[in-house]
Copies of this chain bind each other. A is one copy, B any other.
Amino acid sequence: MGRPTIADIAQRVGVSKGAVSFALNGRPGVSEATRARILEVAREMNWRPHSAARALGGARAEAVGLVIARPASTLGVEPFFAQLLSGLQARLSRQQVAMHLLVVEDSEAEIEVYREWTSAHRVDGFILVDPKVRDPRFAALEELGVPAVVLGGPGRHGALASVWADDREAMVSVVDYLAALGHRRVAHVAGLPGLRHTQRRMRALRDSVKRLGLVDAVSLPTDFSDAEGAAATRTLLSRGTRPTAVVYDSDVMALAGLGVAGEMGVAVPGELSIVAFDDSVLTRVTHPSITSLSRDTVALGGQVADVLLEVIADPGARRVVKTGTPRLVVRQSTAPPLLAR
């Protein structure tokens, strides 16, 4: 015989399948004596629920979906995703909720996966990352009527819940700090240009530069890889008038930039100050250590999980949570520019 089913239990106890179902799900309809007997036999027979069968009946899948439309290789490069996963898992696994993970080519494929997993009751909700400027995924998810939470904001995702950090404020605080140190030419090695938060950071930089009367405000978009981060840094440092400070949209790129500076004989922080927009082990252990905007990505993952579980429990709720604004942790890579004028 294969795995025991409730029918097997029912037969052994001498009751009907229905009674067994009631007993196992702790709902009324059986006496305490019978319930105890059924539970005992179930344990004895090593019975376990068949989630597919439950799903057929319309029950929860006890899983959430995370579909990422990036080249699979970026998963490994950026600590961000790993930490996010880490935070998500910490919260989800406490409730015995699993996570369905898939990396796809593009948003179109991503939407297709949303459709499939939803109609197959494979997951109870989705986590949407990397919101883009005109993002077709919002509408798709709303149309499916499936619980979802958008990581990154603010607002404007229709009725979807979201968890977001204030990128604008963060960028402003960085530029303010650099300006206060005496920097007048600040450059920005940005991430993927299609992403909303990249756009927000670029805009915040431009606005700050104007407000503070600084000279330069170039933002170079990249794909977040160390290679493009290094290339962008090389471009910036090869110019006639170099920036005296560079803000990187990720810690990996900042690290790569630091390497390029060393290679080109540009002293950090003497001739060039470096700020990373993301904090991790990497920024702490290098020499010089890198001044970073620190946000607790693991905690962020936890919050996202929380909000998603809430929305799943009560699909009416529209939660928009703003997480703590990343705060600047000053380390050795920033200093007043030597040649301030």
Contact = CB atoms under 8 A, between A and B. Distances in A.
Interface stretch (A23-31, A183-191, A255-263): A255-263
User: Chain A: interface residue count, which band?
Assistant: 35 or more
A133 to B, nearest CB: 25
Contact of A50 (B102, B121, B262, B281): B121
Contacts of A317: none
A284 B260 CA distance: 12
A98 B90 contact: no
Central interface residue in A53, A89, A226, A262, by most chain B CB within 10 Å: A89
Contacts of A99: 100-102
A297 interface: yes
Contacts of A127: none
A51 interface: yes
Given A86-B72, A98-B102, A77 B120 contact: no
A311 B51 CA distance: 24
Interface in A59-118: 61, 63, 72-79, 81-87, 89-90, 92-93, 98-104, 115-116
A63 B100 contact: yes
- Number of this chain's copies in the assembly equals 2
A212 interface: no
A285 interface: yes
A282 interface: yes
Central interface residue in A75, A76, A83, A280, by most chain B CB within 10 Å: A76
Interface string A34-59: 00000000000000111111011000
B281 A252 contact: yes
Given A76-B83, A99-B101, 19 more contacts: A48-B119, A50-B56, A51-B52, A52-B120, A63-B100, A73-B90, A76-B82, A76-B84, A76-B298, A98-B100, A98-B101, A99-B100, A99-B102, A226-B285, A256-B281, A256-B285, A258-B285, A285-B286, A286-B287
Which A-B residue pairs are the 7 nearest by beta carbons? Answer: A76-B83, A52-B55, A51-B120, A76-B86, A72-B90, A82-B82, A75-B86
